[in-house]
Amino acid sequence: MTTPPVPDVAVPTSKRQGALRRLLRKPLGLVSLTVLVLLVLIAILGPLYGHNPNFSTLKDINVGPGSPGHALGADQFGRDILARLLASLNVSLISGAIGAGVSTILGTVFGLIAGYTGKRTDAVTSWVFSLVMTFPALVLVLVLYPITGGSYQVMMVIFGVFLSPGTFRLVRNLVIVVRNELYVDAARVAGLSTFRILSRHVLYVIRGPLIISVAFLASTAIGVQAGLAFLGLGSTLVPSFGAMTSDAFANIYTAPVQLVWPSLTLALLTGSIVLLGNALRDVLMDVGGVAKAVKTKGRGHTSERDTATPHIEDDAPHGGLLALRNLRVSYTQPDGSERLVVRDVSLDVKIGEVVGLVGESGSGKTQTAFSVLGLLPREAHVEADLLSVGGDAISLSDPAAMRGIRGGVVAYIPQEPMSNLDPSFTIGSQLVEGLSAGMSKREAKATILALLARVGIGDPVRTFKSYPHQISGGMAQRVLIAGAVAGRPKLLIADEPTTALDVTIQAEILDLLRDLQSELGMGVLLVTHNFGVVADLCDRVIVMQAGEIVETGDVRSVFTSPKHSYTRELVGAILDENTVRSDPPPRAAGALTSEGTK
């Protein structure tokens, strides 16, 4: 259900935008990037201002902003504030670059190596980085201050080293996930060198989180450098925001405005870096939002309903088990338009009848089945002229009513048996839970054990006590079938119940379903793409294509004389069990015969 139906050969034409352009589209990204670029430009062009930031004149002590020669005034030593501000900006940017650079390079290089190589290399490297992580970075930078010789650059290198475990862990964990992807295997088979695989495939895929982490590391480094300077560590000849705030702080009663300039610039700088990081994360990790789904809800549907004309005349007074008329399911697209995935689907299931709902991926067959169960995600807009189960009309928009029919009148068997069992509870407790409403615990347990034996589980007591990971996929599907029929449902909805299973197990599960169906007289709605399964189990077939029913009919007539062209195409695509490839291998035709007789 995740892939949109795209014709197989035609290539869709959609607009693609680079990450940078998408970043500039976002107000947050545009503003923060502009501010940051401006600050960097100012820092680079700073020396052109021509004032020595450390030159002090007694006559200019504490002159206010706008004084001749001092646009922002001068501090208590008579030094030009603007010149100091420009120099500080320079220092801050270099600090950020060094801190973030050192930690990113160290963390990324070792993270890539550890994550990709695994085993012993990973264990040793991870251990070393965990050790570094246990050191309190700030305290160590203070302790190591004497060996830096007062240079803020060296301090930032040390700080970068202590920040690197964060990047290392991020990169390593991302790489471990990517390493197991098939495209990395394919690259290895294609003969790419390890370096090329790492730089091109792995690093490129994980660049998003990495860029964001760089932004946050840079702002941390800038903050720490300013903080250290504020405490008076570092050369007094190097102007920095920390030193400037410290000076201004001492001077706060005389000239409070001096505190504004360094704080404001520092705030602008770190703020723009962090917000740019946020915007980048949004851009690079954008999944295409459902944000607008709520807005359009409840409007526009009435008009749709008026125009929709029912396909099938409502002749029978819903004597059947399930009756569905003109079901429509739509989703709101990121651009605000509605995409209809199920259009005007009407179907019936009679008591004791097995109906197959067939179609390819994206045909809307699962969406239809899930609407009857009320299990579609919140973003789906579901409506129908009529849904009646066991003769009672039910409103699709009433969650309580939908909940009432699930597990009682209607039961469900999923496609992936394993993911439908909670790994942290025993199978017994999960099955008993569904029954506990009407009977005592002991009764429920006895019922479940009997059911487990009925669905062909050899040792019911052991399975009852097992956790899901202790049983096989085929067994898990048996367990789920036991759970589904425990409430003696009238209608069983099975969504590709055997697709995830091996053929021999599939055959047994189909046998079980057929036996249970005739035993309990259930109606079954079987969603599948496998025509063999349909032929094995179903009385009637409904064929869906692109959200619409194209053909319904008795199982034999659909197979032998399909009416709709799409059904013919589907039936024609079934690989005939009588055709065996007969042409000899293109080369070496002679070699084959000698091998065939071997």
Name residues contacting other proteins, limited to 361-380 (CB under 8 A).
361
What are the angstrom distances between the C-alpha of 374 and each of 164, 292, 384, 412? 49, 22, 12, 11
Instruction: Name which of 243 and 533 has its Cβ closer to other proteins.
Output: 533
Instruction: Determine, following the binding rule CB under 8 A, whether residue 14 of this chain makes contact with other proteins.
Output: yes
The region of 63-71, 150-158, 161-169, 509-517 touching other proteins under the rule CB under 8 A is 509-517
* Options 58-66, 446-454, 481-489, 576-584: segment touching other proteins (CB under 8 A): 576-584
- Looking at the Cβ atoms of 405 and 555, the one nearer to other proteins is 555
- Beta-bridge partner residues of 387: 324
Task: Indicate the SS3 state at residue 75.
Answer: coil
- Say whether residue 105 binds other proteins (CB under 8 A): no
Answer for which of 50, 68, 317, 586 binds other proteins (CB under 8 A) is: 586
Task: Work out whether 423 is an interface residue with other proteins (CB under 8 A).
Answer: no
For other proteins, the binding residue among 372, 435, 510, 549 (CB under 8 A) is 510
C-beta closer to other proteins: residue 306 or 583: 583
Under rule CB under 8 A, residue 16 binds other proteins: yes
C-beta closer to other proteins: residue 307 or 578: 578
What are the φ and ψ backbone dihedral angles of 446, each rounded to 5 degrees?
-65, -45
> Which member of 127, 204, 249, 425 binds other proteins (CB under 8 A)?
204
Closer of 231 and 574 to other proteins (Cβ): 574
> Whose Cβ is closer to other proteins: residue 105's or residue 574's?
574
Q: How far is it, in rounded angstroms, from Cα 440 to Cα 191?
A: 64
Total chain residues near other proteins (CB under 8 A): 84
**Residue among 352, 351, 387, 385 at smallest CA distance from 369:** 387
Structure tokens at 459: 């040792």
- Output 59 or 587, the one with its CB closest to other proteins: 587
For position 274 contacting other proteins by CB under 8 A, the verdict is: no
Residue 18 contacts other proteins per CB under 8 A: no
Nearest to 482 by CA among 504, 437, 512: 512
Residues 545-574 that bind other proteins (CB under 8 A): 555-556, 559, 569-571, 573-574
For 406, list phi and psi in degrees, rounded to 5.
Answer: -70, 135
Give the span between the Cα atoms of 202 and 159, in whole angstroms. Answer: 27
* Rg for the chain, CA atoms, rounded: 35
**42 vs 505, which CB is nearer to other proteins?**
505
- What backbone phi and psi angles, to 5 degrees, belong to 358? -115, 155
Other beta carbons less than 10 A from residue 208's beta carbon: 17
Joined together, the tokens standing for residue 249 give 């702080």
Distance CA 531, CA 232 (A): 79
Query: Which of helix, strand or coil describes residue 49?
Result: helix
* Complex with other proteins: residue 9 or 400, whichever CB lies closer: 9
Contacts with other proteins in 517-536 (CB under 8 A)? 529-536
Q: Is 118 left (phi over 0), alpha (psi -120 to 50) or beta?
A: left
CA distance 540 to 376: 25
Instruction: Tell me how far, at minimum, the Cβ of 504 lies from other proteins, in Å.
Output: 4
Residue 454 interacting with other proteins (CB under 8 A): no
Q: Which of 44, 177, 446, 592 binds other proteins (CB under 8 A)?
A: 592
User: Contacts with other proteins in 139-198 (CB under 8 A)?
Assistant: 181-183, 185-194, 196
Calculated CA dihedral for residues 230, 233, 238, 244, nearest 10 degrees: 10
Per-residue mark of binding to other proteins, 209-228 (x: CB under 8 A): --------------------
- Decide if 59 contacts 78 (C-beta within 8 A): yes
Instruction: Output the smallest distance, CB 591 to other proteins, in A.
Output: 4
DSSP structure string for 356-382? EEE--TTSSHHHHHHHHHT-S-TT-EE
Site string for other proteins, 469-508 (x = CB under 8 A): ---xxxx-xx-----------------------xxxxxxx
Q: Of 129 and 531, which CB lies nearer to other proteins in the complex structure?
A: 531
DSSP state of 470: G
Compute the least distance from the CB of residue 243 to other proteins, in Å: 44
Cβ-contact 508, 456 below 8 angstroms: yes
Cβ distance to other proteins smaller for residue 11 or 147: 11
